[in-house]
Amino acid sequence: MARPLQLWRVAPLGDHGTVDRVAEASGRWHRGRQPIVYASSTPELAVVEALAHLDRPLQPHWLIRLDVRRPLSSLRVRGLPDDWTRRKAVTRAFGHRWLDGGRSTLLYVPSALMPEAWNVLVATERLRPRQMVARALRRFHFDRRLVDGAGGKS
């Protein structure tokens, strides 16, 4: 059997290490109440993405690994305009077409924070039962230096 694809999330501890398969709130690549999960291709990117959406005060989080069993179909977003990070209507249109098109389970999208790195959208209604398993690996605490800014003493 092929090794599962590993995707990553950092989520508040109150979520008990689970992953909702329907995104309630709208995001960069979809409108609310869609069968979609946002994940990152590496744990480091998952930390950066969570940090960008962090509410104060700092609270403990989970480092979550999503094991997605193959076979999977995937696409990469191509042809984004240069100013795509400032135009959510454009990225939501891409995501909407992908969700409605039904052509793949995964959509690789550039991170708005680090466009050289890839986030992965999972169309959860295209997964077979138990094809994606969330594993809360450990508690995760953001280092104060990430929040307080660079230049502090370590």
**Per-residue pLDDT reduced to its tens digit, 6-20:** 999 998 877 666 788
Mean pLDDT, rounded, for 84-100: 95
Mean pLDDT, rounded, for 55-78: 87
pLDDT of residue 123: 95
Burial class, 80, CB count within 10 angstroms (exposed 0-12 / middle 13-18 / buried 19+): middle
Lowest mean pLDDT segment, chosen from 10-14, 66-70, 75-79, 115-119: 10-14
Whether the pLDDT of residue 152 is over 60: the answer is no
Amino acid in the structure at residue 87: R
Whether the pLDDT of residue 124 is over 90: the answer is yes
Whether the pLDDT of residue 5 is over 60: the answer is yes
Greatest mean pLDDT range, 14-18, 105-109, 140-144? 105-109
Extended strands (E) in the chain = 5-12, 36-40, 61-68, 74-76, 106-110, 118-123, 132-140
- Beta strand 74-76 with 106-110 is parallel
Both structure tokens of 12 = 């508040």
Mean pLDDT, rounded, for 88-97: 95
Whether the pLDDT of residue 149 is over 70: the answer is no
- In Å, how far are 13, 17, 133, 141 from 35, measured between CA atoms? 22, 19, 16, 29
pLDDT over 90 for what percent of the chain? 66
Q: What is the pTM of this model?
A: 0.89
Extended strands (E) in 17-126 = 36-40, 61-68, 74-76, 106-110, 118-123
Long-range contacts of residues 82-91, Cβ cutoff 8 Å, at least 24 apart: 85/112, 85/115, 88/28, 91/28, 91/29
